[in-house]
Structure 1
């Protein structure tokens, strides 16, 4: 099976993504011709499978030092892999594609904890990361070879293990005449700045995590609605509120925003504990729910715009910001970005022909494809790694 894969120049890959927003599993069935920066991609089918509320809350517990435990971690590693396998089976059936036609599954896994910078005071807390969703379980349940656990290889050569999306952003969105920023707004926000005419040199990219994406907004909405809502659909709740500027400015004073790239973050900084603390402060200030949601939304928008102004615009002339991820559906958030970035066109990746919901699953399909071809698939300029390396591990069915 593996020998056959190595000899193929065109592969059908199932890319699996489950992000920090913890909203569900995305599966993209992708036909990829070639490899590396010259790969050509055709999305055959995309489908998203939402997590039920109980599972989502268990994952939030798992991503919290205060509530996690080793038995839940051990069990969820297998349980999530079973969910990944079921998602691939269902996506293939919906696309009328047999499992035998899928050459490879490429899985991001589910991030539980991410330590981008070593704790110098504790030798047992080096730079490290943990994504669950056991690769062997996924391979045995589907009968297909699986590549996954990408981030650890980048960390092993000195990187932060993130962001990984810039590699695919470069392949899919580079433009000869326009400088572009690809802004994904999932649980965390991350950007890739690609200068015009960067036709072959991906190392000219600037890429990093801008800060919170949807995770603070989503958690606040969940708590304010007593669990009835998991997110602010279309930004409708935020649209009727007013931003508390003083509270917003105190949030933007977080030291993370001043750190120069490469840098990454996640639930360990902007997760449930942060959102609950923000909510408690907002309630103490007497803010009504709509103002709280508006302020959380503005926090994401300002953190993104500030990141560009501090680290991207001084280096590159940017004409377009292309937004993907769940945040691309939040019209209030997009409106705030347009106000903060009047000189750039704010688009969604859907407008350029690639579903913003599917993009990250497609990107991980590309990473798996390059693993098979033996092509380095990290970007040291984005992650801070000492050298290019081949990321990923293989599990056979």
Structure 2
């Protein structure tokens, strides 16, 4: 079967760097096959990361500076694409998610989303046809533009007899519910953003260490504390957790201001730093589990974690405890990289776009139609 070498580039709401993959893809949907040739994470320069996080936090910015940051992100993505190909045959297609800096779900008007790192510049630098701006087509059809990965998950991770939930834990958490691959199974898929993933945990660590530490490695710090469940129950009354899907969210809700509200609530209880971090970590676990009980057609036979949060062993253990009888694994254990799954997904979405194959699932995003996703930027030699 003919294969296509594709680069996938992704930086999520954690803003911790660019995940880059080089993959070989064949087939279309039910016969889709992906082989990971190489995966690497390339950190942002510290100054650029700080500027991105400031934008995400709502700090005002001049248009000239926004353009400069857009170009700087595109340059980092292009360099990641060039580096991931070293010692490998070159790619002929590139899918770049870019860096989300603003996301507004649809309400009384169309939703809005902004990903920086313009594809035209990446195509020019790499001389590779680049597909970017994946979310806009879904939003233009009334959808949330998120989550976009469930259709990819469906063809790479569904099972003939098992009900599976694929739980990504990036800055924001999102789930794809995959019924057994039988009958009209594609119409029964569900998905939504479950709420905070690593975003509040990372922000809390930065707050508690005055910026000396960016994340809780393996969840070791939180594991040394005890979650205060009364606080978690209070936080779970937040309106987003009770909205029915389709729904999406971002740092606009679960960001710095939300953390400050959590810290204010916690003052009454005089928690130690470890107890505070354990409680904030518990919010991520409990919000995932609550959303399953509230919105899944049925509880899954198996949960497969991916994203940076899949490496937080304390968070994984809390999920296992709260979910009781449902096994919690990672996508690594079924043959798909948990670290690079999202980057792989955008390589697949680019591959589908080039072939005019739909990439969204309207039942997940709320869009009116299933459509190919992404804007194509040709590699025109100068």
* Fold shared, TM-score > 0.5 on shorter chain: yes
Distance 1:56 1:217 in 2: 17
Which residue is equivalent to 1:296?
Answer: 280
Which residue is equivalent to 1:4?
Answer: none
Mapped contact 1:212–1:270 kept (Cα < 8 A): yes
Residue 9 of structure 1, CA deviation: 4.7
Distance 1:381 1:76 in 2: 35
Mapped contact 2:169–2:307 kept (Cα < 8 A): yes
Picking from 118, 129, 152, the partner of 1:134 is 118
Mapped contact 1:298–1:333 kept (Cα < 8 A): yes
| Correspondence list, 1:185-200, <5 A | 185-198=169-182
Q: How many pairs does the alignment contain? A: 379
For normalisation by structure 2, the TM-score amounts to: 0.96
Which residue is equivalent to 2:234?
Answer: 250
Picking from 265, 270, 280, the partner of 2:249 is 265
| Correspondence list, 1:233-248, <5 A | 233-248=217-232
Which residue is equivalent to 1:328?
Answer: 310
| Correspondence list, 1:157-306, <5 A | 157-198=141-182, 201-283=185-267, 285-306=269-290
Which residue is equivalent to 1:14?
Answer: 7
Mapped contact 1:82–1:138 kept (Cα < 8 A): yes
Distance 1:336 1:173 in 2: 24
Mapped contact 1:105–1:368 kept (Cα < 8 A): yes
Picking from 340, 347, 351, the partner of 1:369 is 351
Residue 63 of structure 1, CA deviation: 1.0
For normalisation by structure 1, the TM-score amounts to: 0.92
Residue 287 of structure 1, CA deviation: 1.5
Gaps of 5+ in 2: none
Distance 2:140 2:2 in 1: 29
Which residue is equivalent to 2:129?
Answer: 145
Picking from 302, 313, 322, the partner of 1:340 is 322
Residue 137 of structure 1, CA deviation: 0.8
Pick which of 277-286 and 163-172 moved more.
277-286
Q: SS where residue 226 of structure 1 aligns?
A: coil
Distance 1:177 1:36 in 2: 19
Which residue is equivalent to 1:3?
Answer: none
Distance 2:255 2:324 in 1: 30
Mapped contact 2:110–2:142 kept (Cα < 8 A): no
Gaps of 5+ in 1: 1-7
Residue 348 of structure 1, CA deviation: 0.7
Q: SS where residue 43 of structure 1 aligns?
A: strand
Picking from 114, 129, 139, the partner of 1:155 is 139
Q: Deviations over 1:258-281 (max 9, x none)?
A: 111110000110012212332243
Residue 195 of structure 1, CA deviation: 1.1
Which residue is equivalent to 1:108?
Answer: 97
Residue 193 of structure 1, CA deviation: 0.6
Picking from 77, 80, 83, the partner of 1:87 is 80
Which residue is equivalent to 1:31?
Answer: 24
Distance 2:94 2:140 in 1: 23
Q: Deviations over 1:28-56 (max 9, x none)?
A: 11100122343111111111112243322
Relative to structure 1, the CA distance from residue 254 to residue 68 in structure 2 (aligned partners, 3 Å threshold; closer, same or farther) is farther
Mapped contact 1:323–1:356 kept (Cα < 8 A): yes
Distance 2:17 2:264 in 1: 27
Matched, 1:388 2:370: yes
Distance 2:333 2:43 in 1: 24
Mapped contact 2:110–2:139 kept (Cα < 8 A): no
Matched, 1:76 2:58: no
Residue 291 of structure 1, CA deviation: 0.9
Residue 75 of structure 1, CA deviation: 1.4
